[in-house]
Structure 1
Amino acid sequence: MSTADDPMPLASLSLTHVHYDPRDNISYLCAWLALIPQGLCVVYATLIWSTREIEIALLFAGQLACEALNFALKRFIKEERPPLMNGKGYGMPSSHAQFVSYFAVSMALFLLFRHQPENAGVKRRNHKPMTMLERAVWSVLGLGMAATVAWSRIYLNYHTEKQVLVGCMAGTASAVAWFLFTTAIRRTGWLTWAVDHPVARFLRVRDLVVEEDLCQAGWEKWDDRMMALKGREEKKVH
Protein backbone atom coordinates (compact mmCIF):
# COMPACT_ATOMS: atom_id res chain seq x y z
CA MET A 1 0.00 0.00 0.00
CA SER A 2 1.18 3.53 -0.77
CA THR A 3 1.72 6.04 1.98
CA ALA A 4 2.35 9.78 2.13
CA ASP A 5 6.06 9.04 1.83
CA ASP A 6 5.49 6.55 -0.98
CA PRO A 7 2.99 8.20 -3.36
CA MET A 8 1.19 6.36 -6.13
CA PRO A 9 3.19 6.72 -9.41
CA LEU A 10 1.52 8.94 -11.99
CA ALA A 11 0.36 7.59 -15.34
CA SER A 12 0.92 9.22 -18.73
CA LEU A 13 -1.90 10.11 -21.12
CA SER A 14 -0.30 8.93 -24.35
CA LEU A 15 -2.97 10.16 -26.79
CA THR A 16 -0.50 12.47 -28.51
CA HIS A 17 2.72 10.85 -27.29
CA VAL A 18 4.85 9.89 -30.31
CA HIS A 19 8.33 8.35 -30.25
CA TYR A 20 10.73 9.60 -32.94
CA ASP A 21 14.46 9.98 -33.54
CA PRO A 22 15.38 13.64 -32.82
CA ARG A 23 18.45 13.30 -35.06
CA ASP A 24 16.29 12.43 -38.08
CA ASN A 25 14.26 15.21 -39.73
CA ILE A 26 12.05 12.68 -41.53
CA SER A 27 11.31 10.98 -38.24
CA TYR A 28 10.35 14.37 -36.79
CA LEU A 29 7.99 14.98 -39.73
CA CYS A 30 6.46 11.54 -39.25
CA ALA A 31 5.80 12.37 -35.61
CA TRP A 32 3.69 15.31 -36.73
CA LEU A 33 1.94 13.16 -39.33
CA ALA A 34 0.96 10.80 -36.52
CA LEU A 35 -1.18 13.61 -35.04
CA ILE A 36 -3.36 13.98 -38.14
CA PRO A 37 -6.13 11.63 -36.86
CA GLN A 38 -6.45 13.69 -33.67
CA GLY A 39 -6.52 16.85 -35.78
CA LEU A 40 -9.26 15.40 -37.99
CA CYS A 41 -11.37 14.66 -34.91
CA VAL A 42 -11.13 18.34 -33.98
CA VAL A 43 -12.14 19.25 -37.54
CA TYR A 44 -15.11 16.88 -37.37
CA ALA A 45 -16.35 18.37 -34.09
CA THR A 46 -15.85 21.95 -35.30
CA LEU A 47 -17.67 21.43 -38.59
CA ILE A 48 -20.55 19.50 -37.04
CA TRP A 49 -21.11 22.23 -34.46
CA SER A 50 -20.69 25.16 -36.85
CA THR A 51 -22.47 23.86 -39.95
CA ARG A 52 -24.98 21.31 -38.53
CA GLU A 53 -24.57 19.39 -41.80
CA ILE A 54 -25.98 15.86 -41.59
CA GLU A 55 -23.47 14.61 -44.19
CA ILE A 56 -20.54 15.56 -41.94
CA ALA A 57 -22.22 13.97 -38.92
CA LEU A 58 -22.76 10.77 -40.92
CA LEU A 59 -19.13 10.80 -42.03
CA PHE A 60 -18.02 11.08 -38.41
CA ALA A 61 -20.40 8.30 -37.33
CA GLY A 62 -18.80 6.05 -39.93
CA GLN A 63 -15.37 7.08 -38.66
CA LEU A 64 -16.31 6.02 -35.14
CA ALA A 65 -17.63 2.69 -36.46
CA CYS A 66 -14.33 2.22 -38.30
CA GLU A 67 -12.43 2.82 -35.05
CA ALA A 68 -14.64 0.30 -33.26
CA LEU A 69 -13.85 -2.23 -35.97
CA ASN A 70 -10.12 -1.59 -35.52
CA PHE A 71 -10.46 -2.08 -31.76
CA ALA A 72 -12.19 -5.43 -32.32
CA LEU A 73 -9.76 -6.63 -35.01
CA LYS A 74 -6.71 -5.91 -32.89
CA ARG A 75 -8.06 -7.95 -30.00
CA PHE A 76 -9.20 -10.75 -32.29
CA ILE A 77 -5.94 -11.07 -34.29
CA LYS A 78 -3.61 -10.26 -31.36
CA GLU A 79 -0.54 -9.65 -33.51
CA GLU A 80 2.33 -7.91 -31.78
CA ARG A 81 4.05 -4.78 -33.06
CA PRO A 82 7.48 -4.97 -34.76
CA PRO A 83 10.59 -5.94 -32.76
CA LEU A 84 12.06 -3.01 -30.82
CA MET A 85 8.63 -1.53 -31.34
CA ASN A 86 7.33 1.88 -30.44
CA GLY A 87 3.87 2.04 -28.89
CA LYS A 88 1.69 -0.16 -26.75
CA GLY A 89 -0.92 -2.79 -27.51
CA TYR A 90 -1.41 -4.96 -30.57
CA GLY A 91 -0.32 -3.83 -34.01
CA MET A 92 -2.66 -5.57 -36.47
CA PRO A 93 -4.18 -3.65 -38.15
CA SER A 94 -2.68 -0.16 -37.90
CA SER A 95 -5.30 2.18 -36.44
CA HIS A 96 -3.66 5.26 -38.01
CA ALA A 97 -3.66 3.67 -41.47
CA GLN A 98 -7.27 2.54 -41.06
CA PHE A 99 -8.40 5.95 -39.79
CA VAL A 100 -6.88 8.04 -42.58
CA SER A 101 -7.83 5.50 -45.27
CA TYR A 102 -11.47 5.68 -44.22
CA PHE A 103 -11.38 9.47 -44.22
CA ALA A 104 -9.60 9.87 -47.57
CA VAL A 105 -11.66 7.26 -49.41
CA SER A 106 -14.90 8.62 -47.93
CA MET A 107 -14.02 12.14 -49.06
CA ALA A 108 -13.14 10.88 -52.55
CA LEU A 109 -16.43 8.99 -52.81
CA PHE A 110 -18.34 12.05 -51.66
CA LEU A 111 -16.60 14.48 -54.00
CA LEU A 112 -16.73 12.22 -57.06
CA PHE A 113 -20.12 10.54 -56.70
CA ARG A 114 -22.35 12.33 -54.18
CA HIS A 115 -21.41 16.01 -54.36
CA GLN A 116 -23.40 17.45 -57.27
CA PRO A 117 -23.38 21.25 -57.03
CA GLU A 118 -26.03 23.12 -58.96
CA ASN A 119 -24.72 24.60 -62.22
CA ALA A 120 -21.32 22.98 -61.72
CA GLY A 121 -18.65 24.81 -63.66
CA VAL A 122 -20.86 27.87 -64.19
CA LYS A 123 -19.29 30.99 -62.71
CA ARG A 124 -21.70 33.32 -60.99
CA ARG A 125 -20.93 36.80 -59.75
CA ASN A 126 -19.76 35.64 -56.33
CA HIS A 127 -19.16 31.90 -56.66
CA LYS A 128 -17.99 29.18 -59.00
CA PRO A 129 -18.83 25.59 -57.97
CA MET A 130 -16.02 23.05 -58.07
CA THR A 131 -15.67 21.22 -61.35
CA MET A 132 -15.25 17.46 -61.56
CA LEU A 133 -11.56 17.97 -62.31
CA GLU A 134 -11.10 20.07 -59.17
CA ARG A 135 -12.91 17.47 -57.10
CA ALA A 136 -10.71 14.75 -58.57
CA VAL A 137 -7.59 16.73 -57.66
CA TRP A 138 -8.75 17.16 -54.07
CA SER A 139 -9.54 13.45 -53.91
CA VAL A 140 -6.04 12.53 -55.08
CA LEU A 141 -4.49 14.92 -52.55
CA GLY A 142 -6.54 13.34 -49.76
CA LEU A 143 -5.50 9.84 -50.77
CA GLY A 144 -1.89 11.00 -50.95
CA MET A 145 -2.15 12.40 -47.42
CA ALA A 146 -3.52 9.09 -46.19
CA ALA A 147 -0.72 7.15 -47.89
CA THR A 148 1.89 9.43 -46.30
CA VAL A 149 0.44 9.00 -42.81
CA ALA A 150 0.27 5.22 -43.29
CA TRP A 151 3.91 5.10 -44.46
CA SER A 152 5.00 7.17 -41.47
CA ARG A 153 3.82 4.42 -39.13
CA ILE A 154 6.30 2.04 -40.76
CA TYR A 155 9.09 4.60 -40.68
CA LEU A 156 8.56 5.24 -36.96
CA ASN A 157 8.59 1.45 -36.35
CA TYR A 158 5.09 1.41 -34.87
CA HIS A 159 3.85 -1.15 -37.42
CA THR A 160 5.02 -3.64 -40.03
CA GLU A 161 4.22 -3.21 -43.72
CA LYS A 162 1.55 -5.91 -43.46
CA GLN A 163 -0.14 -4.25 -40.49
CA VAL A 164 -0.31 -0.94 -42.34
CA LEU A 165 -1.56 -2.59 -45.54
CA VAL A 166 -4.33 -4.41 -43.67
CA GLY A 167 -5.22 -1.16 -41.91
CA CYS A 168 -5.55 0.60 -45.28
CA MET A 169 -7.70 -2.24 -46.61
CA ALA A 170 -9.96 -2.21 -43.55
CA GLY A 171 -10.34 1.57 -43.74
CA THR A 172 -11.13 1.46 -47.45
CA ALA A 173 -13.67 -1.34 -46.99
CA SER A 174 -15.29 0.58 -44.13
CA ALA A 175 -15.53 3.72 -46.27
CA VAL A 176 -17.12 1.90 -49.19
CA ALA A 177 -19.57 0.02 -46.94
CA TRP A 178 -20.58 3.22 -45.11
CA PHE A 179 -20.98 5.10 -48.39
CA LEU A 180 -23.32 2.39 -49.69
CA PHE A 181 -25.27 2.43 -46.43
CA THR A 182 -25.72 6.21 -46.42
CA THR A 183 -26.67 6.09 -50.10
CA ALA A 184 -29.38 3.58 -49.24
CA ILE A 185 -30.86 5.68 -46.42
CA ARG A 186 -30.85 8.69 -48.73
CA ARG A 187 -32.66 6.88 -51.53
CA THR A 188 -35.23 5.30 -49.23
CA GLY A 189 -36.11 8.68 -47.69
CA TRP A 190 -35.02 7.83 -44.17
CA LEU A 191 -32.46 10.62 -44.12
CA THR A 192 -35.04 13.19 -45.24
CA TRP A 193 -37.34 11.98 -42.47
CA ALA A 194 -34.56 12.24 -39.89
CA VAL A 195 -33.53 15.76 -40.91
CA ASP A 196 -37.18 16.89 -40.74
CA HIS A 197 -37.69 15.39 -37.27
CA PRO A 198 -38.58 17.98 -34.60
CA VAL A 199 -35.37 17.26 -32.67
CA ALA A 200 -33.25 17.72 -35.82
CA ARG A 201 -35.10 20.94 -36.66
CA PHE A 202 -34.52 22.22 -33.13
CA LEU A 203 -30.78 21.52 -33.56
CA ARG A 204 -30.86 23.27 -36.97
CA VAL A 205 -29.66 20.16 -38.81
CA ARG A 206 -29.44 20.63 -42.57
CA ASP A 207 -28.42 18.75 -45.70
CA LEU A 208 -27.01 21.33 -48.11
CA VAL A 209 -23.40 20.33 -48.66
CA VAL A 210 -24.39 17.72 -51.24
CA GLU A 211 -25.53 20.48 -53.61
CA GLU A 212 -23.32 23.40 -52.57
CA ASP A 213 -19.75 23.88 -51.45
CA LEU A 214 -19.30 24.03 -47.69
CA CYS A 215 -17.74 27.49 -47.80
CA GLN A 216 -20.63 28.72 -49.93
CA ALA A 217 -23.32 28.38 -47.25
CA GLY A 218 -24.35 31.91 -46.42
CA TRP A 219 -21.59 33.50 -48.53
CA GLU A 220 -23.85 34.66 -51.38
CA LYS A 221 -26.29 36.13 -48.88
CA TRP A 222 -23.44 38.03 -47.20
CA ASP A 223 -21.95 39.15 -50.52
CA ASP A 224 -25.34 40.39 -51.74
CA ARG A 225 -25.71 42.38 -48.53
CA MET A 226 -22.28 43.96 -48.97
CA MET A 227 -23.02 44.83 -52.61
CA ALA A 228 -26.30 46.47 -51.55
CA LEU A 229 -24.48 48.42 -48.84
CA LYS A 230 -21.89 49.66 -51.33
CA GLY A 231 -24.70 50.62 -53.72
CA ARG A 232 -26.40 52.74 -51.04
CA GLU A 233 -23.09 54.43 -50.19
CA GLU A 234 -22.48 55.24 -53.86
CA LYS A 235 -25.96 56.76 -54.13
CA LYS A 236 -25.24 58.99 -51.13
CA VAL A 237 -22.02 60.22 -52.76
CA HIS A 238 -23.80 61.14 -55.98
Structure 2
Amino acid sequence: MEDKVLSVSDVLHGNGDIEWQPLALTLVEYPKGDILGKFFALISLAPFGIGAGFVALILFRRDLHTIAFFFGTLVNELLNIILKHIICEARPIARGHLYNEYGMPSSHAQFVWFFSIYVLYFVLIRLHHINNNSIISALWRVVIVGGCITLALLVSIGRVYLHYHTTAQVIVGGIVGFLFATLWFALVHRVFTPVFPQLVSMKLFEMLMIRDTTLIPNVLWFEYTTSRQEARARGRKLAALKPTQ
Protein backbone atom coordinates (compact mmCIF):
# COMPACT_ATOMS: atom_id res chain seq x y z
CA MET A 1 0.00 0.00 0.00
CA GLU A 2 1.44 3.33 -1.07
CA ASP A 3 2.08 5.77 1.76
CA LYS A 4 0.50 9.22 1.47
CA VAL A 5 2.94 12.09 1.82
CA LEU A 6 1.48 14.94 3.85
CA SER A 7 2.63 18.51 3.59
CA VAL A 8 3.22 20.78 6.56
CA SER A 9 -0.17 22.43 6.04
CA ASP A 10 -1.88 19.01 6.08
CA VAL A 11 -0.23 18.18 9.38
CA LEU A 12 -1.16 21.54 10.91
CA HIS A 13 -4.79 21.37 9.80
CA GLY A 14 -5.24 17.63 10.04
CA ASN A 15 -6.79 17.53 6.58
CA GLY A 16 -5.26 16.59 3.24
CA ASP A 17 -8.25 17.77 1.18
CA ILE A 18 -7.96 21.52 1.80
CA GLU A 19 -8.33 23.67 -1.31
CA TRP A 20 -5.90 26.59 -1.29
CA GLN A 21 -6.65 29.78 -3.16
CA PRO A 22 -4.09 32.53 -3.90
CA LEU A 23 -4.66 36.12 -2.82
CA ALA A 24 -5.76 37.66 -6.11
CA LEU A 25 -5.05 41.25 -5.06
CA THR A 26 -1.28 40.88 -5.15
CA LEU A 27 -0.82 37.97 -7.58
CA VAL A 28 0.21 39.04 -11.08
CA GLU A 29 1.15 36.59 -13.83
CA TYR A 30 3.51 37.32 -16.72
CA PRO A 31 5.06 35.16 -19.49
CA LYS A 32 8.04 33.25 -18.17
CA GLY A 33 11.30 34.74 -19.41
CA ASP A 34 9.61 37.94 -20.63
CA ILE A 35 11.58 40.80 -19.05
CA LEU A 36 9.14 43.45 -20.30
CA GLY A 37 6.23 41.41 -18.95
CA LYS A 38 7.94 41.17 -15.56
CA PHE A 39 8.46 44.93 -15.58
CA PHE A 40 4.77 45.54 -16.29
CA ALA A 41 3.85 42.99 -13.60
CA LEU A 42 5.88 44.95 -11.05
CA ILE A 43 4.42 48.26 -12.24
CA SER A 44 0.91 46.85 -11.82
CA LEU A 45 1.56 46.65 -8.07
CA ALA A 46 1.81 50.46 -7.92
CA PRO A 47 -1.75 50.92 -6.56
CA PHE A 48 -0.82 48.90 -3.48
CA GLY A 49 2.26 51.06 -2.93
CA ILE A 50 0.12 54.17 -3.28
CA GLY A 51 -2.36 52.77 -0.77
CA ALA A 52 0.44 52.06 1.72
CA GLY A 53 1.69 55.61 1.20
CA PHE A 54 -1.76 56.97 2.01
CA VAL A 55 -1.86 55.02 5.27
CA ALA A 56 1.60 56.28 6.25
CA LEU A 57 0.71 59.90 5.45
CA ILE A 58 -2.55 59.72 7.37
CA LEU A 59 -0.87 58.18 10.42
CA PHE A 60 2.06 60.61 10.54
CA ARG A 61 0.67 63.86 9.05
CA ARG A 62 -3.03 63.54 9.91
CA ASP A 63 -4.11 66.17 7.41
CA LEU A 64 -7.79 66.37 6.54
CA HIS A 65 -7.15 66.86 2.83
CA THR A 66 -5.05 63.70 2.69
CA ILE A 67 -7.82 61.81 4.46
CA ALA A 68 -10.37 63.17 1.98
CA PHE A 69 -8.11 62.17 -0.93
CA PHE A 70 -7.76 58.64 0.44
CA PHE A 71 -11.51 58.37 1.02
CA GLY A 72 -11.97 59.35 -2.62
CA THR A 73 -9.80 56.41 -3.75
CA LEU A 74 -12.04 54.08 -1.73
CA VAL A 75 -15.19 55.52 -3.29
CA ASN A 76 -13.51 55.22 -6.70
CA GLU A 77 -12.86 51.50 -6.08
CA LEU A 78 -16.47 51.00 -4.98
CA LEU A 79 -17.63 52.69 -8.17
CA ASN A 80 -15.43 50.34 -10.20
CA ILE A 81 -16.93 47.26 -8.51
CA ILE A 82 -20.45 48.53 -9.20
CA LEU A 83 -19.68 49.23 -12.87
CA LYS A 84 -18.06 45.81 -13.29
CA HIS A 85 -21.16 44.02 -12.04
CA ILE A 86 -23.47 46.20 -14.12
CA ILE A 87 -21.58 45.78 -17.40
CA CYS A 88 -20.49 42.14 -16.77
CA GLU A 89 -17.89 42.09 -19.55
CA ALA A 90 -15.41 39.22 -19.33
CA ARG A 91 -11.64 39.61 -19.35
CA PRO A 92 -9.66 38.63 -22.45
CA ILE A 93 -8.16 35.54 -20.74
CA ALA A 94 -9.76 33.44 -18.00
CA ARG A 95 -7.36 32.68 -15.14
CA GLY A 96 -9.55 30.69 -12.77
CA HIS A 97 -10.10 32.29 -9.38
CA LEU A 98 -7.12 34.64 -9.54
CA TYR A 99 -9.32 37.74 -9.77
CA ASN A 100 -12.78 39.04 -10.48
CA GLU A 101 -14.06 37.56 -13.72
CA TYR A 102 -15.29 40.93 -14.98
CA GLY A 103 -12.91 43.33 -16.66
CA MET A 104 -14.92 46.38 -17.72
CA PRO A 105 -13.74 48.88 -16.64
CA SER A 106 -10.15 48.15 -15.58
CA SER A 107 -9.78 48.79 -11.85
CA HIS A 108 -6.03 49.39 -12.16
CA ALA A 109 -6.50 51.98 -14.91
CA GLN A 110 -9.35 53.66 -13.06
CA PHE A 111 -7.31 53.84 -9.85
CA VAL A 112 -4.06 55.21 -11.31
CA TRP A 113 -5.83 57.78 -13.50
CA PHE A 114 -7.99 58.92 -10.60
CA PHE A 115 -4.84 59.31 -8.51
CA SER A 116 -2.81 61.04 -11.25
CA ILE A 117 -5.53 63.50 -12.29
CA TYR A 118 -6.29 64.37 -8.68
CA VAL A 119 -2.58 65.03 -8.07
CA LEU A 120 -2.57 67.20 -11.22
CA TYR A 121 -5.41 69.34 -9.87
CA PHE A 122 -3.80 69.45 -6.43
CA VAL A 123 -0.46 70.66 -7.80
CA LEU A 124 -2.00 73.28 -10.09
CA ILE A 125 -4.57 74.62 -7.63
CA ARG A 126 -3.49 73.80 -4.08
CA LEU A 127 0.26 73.18 -4.09
CA HIS A 128 1.36 76.68 -5.09
CA HIS A 129 4.44 78.44 -3.83
CA ILE A 130 4.91 81.95 -2.50
CA ASN A 131 7.52 82.63 -5.14
CA ASN A 132 5.82 81.53 -8.35
CA ASN A 133 8.86 82.51 -10.41
CA SER A 134 11.09 79.95 -8.71
CA ILE A 135 12.68 77.56 -11.18
CA ILE A 136 12.88 74.87 -8.51
CA SER A 137 9.18 75.28 -7.79
CA ALA A 138 8.27 74.86 -11.46
CA LEU A 139 10.63 71.88 -11.80
CA TRP A 140 9.07 70.10 -8.84
CA ARG A 141 5.62 70.56 -10.36
CA VAL A 142 6.76 69.05 -13.65
CA VAL A 143 8.44 66.12 -11.88
CA ILE A 144 5.43 65.34 -9.67
CA VAL A 145 2.80 65.59 -12.40
CA GLY A 146 5.00 63.99 -15.07
CA GLY A 147 5.84 61.07 -12.77
CA CYS A 148 2.18 60.41 -11.97
CA ILE A 149 1.06 60.58 -15.61
CA THR A 150 3.95 58.32 -16.68
CA LEU A 151 3.01 55.80 -14.00
CA ALA A 152 -0.63 55.85 -15.13
CA LEU A 153 0.39 55.23 -18.74
CA LEU A 154 2.71 52.35 -17.81
CA VAL A 155 0.10 50.65 -15.63
CA SER A 156 -2.52 51.02 -18.37
CA ILE A 157 -0.24 49.62 -21.07
CA GLY A 158 0.83 46.78 -18.78
CA ARG A 159 -2.74 45.62 -18.15
CA VAL A 160 -3.25 45.20 -21.89
CA TYR A 161 0.21 43.68 -22.46
CA LEU A 162 -0.36 41.04 -19.76
CA HIS A 163 -3.87 40.29 -21.16
CA TYR A 164 -5.65 41.19 -17.95
CA HIS A 165 -7.81 43.67 -19.85
CA THR A 166 -8.70 44.64 -23.37
CA THR A 167 -7.71 48.03 -24.72
CA ALA A 168 -11.32 49.20 -24.44
CA GLN A 169 -11.54 48.13 -20.78
CA VAL A 170 -8.40 50.09 -19.94
CA ILE A 171 -9.53 53.19 -21.86
CA VAL A 172 -12.93 53.18 -20.17
CA GLY A 173 -11.27 52.70 -16.78
CA GLY A 174 -9.01 55.67 -17.45
CA ILE A 175 -11.93 57.84 -18.54
CA VAL A 176 -13.98 56.93 -15.46
CA GLY A 177 -10.98 57.63 -13.23
CA PHE A 178 -10.41 61.00 -14.92
CA LEU A 179 -14.06 62.05 -14.58
CA PHE A 180 -14.40 60.90 -10.98
CA ALA A 181 -11.13 62.60 -10.01
CA THR A 182 -12.48 65.84 -11.44
CA LEU A 183 -15.75 65.45 -9.55
CA TRP A 184 -14.10 64.44 -6.29
CA PHE A 185 -11.55 67.24 -6.35
CA ALA A 186 -14.34 69.76 -6.99
CA LEU A 187 -16.27 68.37 -4.01
CA VAL A 188 -13.23 68.46 -1.73
CA HIS A 189 -12.12 71.90 -2.88
CA ARG A 190 -15.52 73.61 -2.94
CA VAL A 191 -17.67 71.69 -0.44
CA PHE A 192 -15.50 69.83 2.08
CA THR A 193 -12.59 72.26 2.50
CA PRO A 194 -14.72 75.18 3.85
CA VAL A 195 -15.89 72.99 6.76
CA PHE A 196 -12.41 71.66 7.63
CA PRO A 197 -11.72 74.46 10.20
CA GLN A 198 -14.91 73.54 12.09
CA LEU A 199 -14.03 69.84 12.03
CA VAL A 200 -10.50 70.23 13.40
CA SER A 201 -11.84 72.31 16.30
CA MET A 202 -14.00 69.40 17.49
CA LYS A 203 -12.79 67.54 20.57
CA LEU A 204 -12.45 64.18 18.80
CA PHE A 205 -10.31 65.64 16.03
CA GLU A 206 -8.15 67.42 18.60
CA MET A 207 -7.62 64.15 20.47
CA LEU A 208 -6.57 62.44 17.23
CA MET A 209 -4.38 65.47 16.36
CA ILE A 210 -6.01 65.82 12.95
CA ARG A 211 -5.12 69.15 11.34
CA ASP A 212 -6.13 71.37 8.45
CA THR A 213 -3.36 72.87 6.30
CA THR A 214 -5.65 74.40 3.68
CA LEU A 215 -4.66 78.02 4.36
CA ILE A 216 -0.93 77.31 4.23
CA PRO A 217 0.24 78.08 0.66
CA ASN A 218 3.24 75.75 0.69
CA VAL A 219 2.95 73.03 3.32
CA LEU A 220 6.35 71.52 2.56
CA TRP A 221 8.13 74.87 2.91
CA PHE A 222 6.15 75.73 6.05
CA GLU A 223 7.05 72.44 7.76
CA TYR A 224 10.68 72.77 6.66
CA THR A 225 11.13 76.32 7.94
CA THR A 226 9.16 75.65 11.13
CA SER A 227 11.26 72.60 12.00
CA ARG A 228 14.50 74.53 11.34
CA GLN A 229 13.39 77.43 13.52
CA GLU A 230 12.34 75.08 16.33
CA ALA A 231 15.63 73.14 16.10
CA ARG A 232 17.65 76.39 16.27
CA ALA A 233 15.62 77.69 19.21
CA ARG A 234 16.10 74.46 21.13
CA GLY A 235 19.81 74.50 20.24
CA ARG A 236 20.20 77.99 21.71
CA LYS A 237 18.37 76.94 24.89
CA LEU A 238 20.63 73.92 25.33
CA ALA A 239 23.70 76.07 24.73
CA ALA A 240 22.53 78.56 27.34
CA LEU A 241 22.04 75.80 29.92
CA LYS A 242 25.58 74.49 29.54
CA PRO A 243 27.90 75.66 32.35
CA THR A 244 30.58 78.09 31.30
CA GLN A 245 34.19 76.83 31.49
TM-score (norm 2): 0.81
Aligned counterpart, 1:40 = 50
Correspondence 1:195 to 2:183:
no
Correspondence 1:120 to 2:131:
yes
C-alpha deviation, 1:236, in angstroms: 9.4
The correspondence for 2:113, drawn from 95, 101, 108, is 101
Q: Which moved more, 1:139-148 or 1:43-52?
A: 139-148
**Which has the greater radius of gyration?**
2
Instruction: Identify if the C-alpha distance between structure 1 residues 207 and 225 changes in structure 2 by more than 3 Å, giving closer, same or farther.
Output: closer
Instruction: Identify if the C-alpha distance between structure 1 residues 26 and 237 changes in structure 2 by more than 3 Å, giving closer, same or farther.
Output: farther
Secondary structure at 2:20's aligned position in 1? coil
Instruction: Identify if the C-alpha distance between structure 1 residues 210 and 107 changes in structure 2 by more than 3 Å, giving closer, same or farther.
Output: farther
Describe how 1:7-86 pairs up with structure 2 within 5 A: 7-83=17-93
Describe the superposition over 1:38-70 as per-residue Cα deviations: whole angstroms up to 9, x where unpaired.
Answer: 111100000001000111100001100000000
Instruction: Identify if the C-alpha distance between structure 1 residues 159 and 210 changes in structure 2 by more than 3 Å, giving closer, same or farther.
Output: farther
Secondary structure at 1:21's aligned position in 2? coil
Identity of aligned residues (%): 29
C-alpha deviation, 1:137, in angstroms: 3.8
Secondary structure at 2:141's aligned position in 1? helix
Return the letter of the residue paired with 2:106.
Answer: S
Tell me, in whole angstroms, the C-alpha distance in 1 between the residues paired with 2:54 and 2:172. 25
Q: Which moved more, 1:20-29 or 1:159-168?
A: 20-29
Return the letter of the residue paired with 1:172.
Answer: F
The correspondence for 1:207, drawn from 208, 212, 216, is 212
Describe the superposition over 1:95-131 as per-residue Cα deviations: whole angstroms up to 9, x where unpaired.
Answer: 00000000000001000012234x23488xxxx9x63
Aligned counterpart, 1:140 = 146
C-alpha deviation, 1:208, in angstroms: 1.6
Correspondence 1:223 to 2:208:
no
Aligned residues: 229
Aligned counterpart, 1:152 = 158
Return the letter of the residue paired with 1:110.
Answer: F
Superposition CA RMSD, Å:
3.0
Describe the superposition over 1:131-161 as per-residue Cα deviations: whole angstroms up to 9, x where unpaired.
Answer: 3453244212211111111111001110000
Q: Do 1:30 and 1:152's aligned partners in 2 also have CA atoms closer than 8 Å?
A: yes
TM-score (norm 1): 0.84
Instruction: Identify if the C-alpha distance between structure 1 residues 135 and 22 changes in structure 2 by more than 3 Å, giving closer, same or farther.
Output: same
Unaligned 5+ runs, structure 1:
none
Instruction: Identify if the C-alpha distance between structure 1 residues 137 and 56 changes in structure 2 by more than 3 Å, giving closer, same or farther.
Output: same
Q: Do 1:114 and 1:210's aligned partners in 2 also have CA atoms closer than 8 Å?
A: no
Tell me, in whole angstroms, the C-alpha distance in 2 between the residues paired with 1:113 and 1:221. 23
Q: Which moved more, 1:135-144 or 1:33-42?
A: 135-144
Return the letter of the residue paired with 1:103.
Answer: F
Return the letter of the residue paired with 1:202.
Answer: M
Q: Do 1:112 and 1:136's aligned partners in 2 also have CA atoms closer than 8 Å?
A: no
Secondary structure at 2:168's aligned position in 1? helix
Tell me, in whole angstroms, the C-alpha distance in 2 between the residues paired with 1:137 and 1:7. 53
Q: Do 2:160 and 2:167's aligned partners in 1 also have CA atoms closer than 8 Å?
A: yes
Secondary structure at 1:205's aligned position in 2? coil
C-alpha deviation, 1:221, in angstroms: 3.2
Correspondence 1:92 to 2:98:
no
Secondary structure at 1:165's aligned position in 2? helix
C-alpha deviation, 1:172, in angstroms: 0.5
Instruction: Identify if the C-alpha distance between structure 1 residues 205 and 122 changes in structure 2 by more than 3 Å, giving closer, same or farther.
Output: farther
Q: Do 1:186 and 1:192's aligned partners in 2 also have CA atoms closer than 8 Å?
A: no
Q: Do 2:93 and 2:164's aligned partners in 1 also have CA atoms closer than 8 Å?
A: no
Q: Do 1:105 and 1:172's aligned partners in 2 also have CA atoms closer than 8 Å?
A: yes
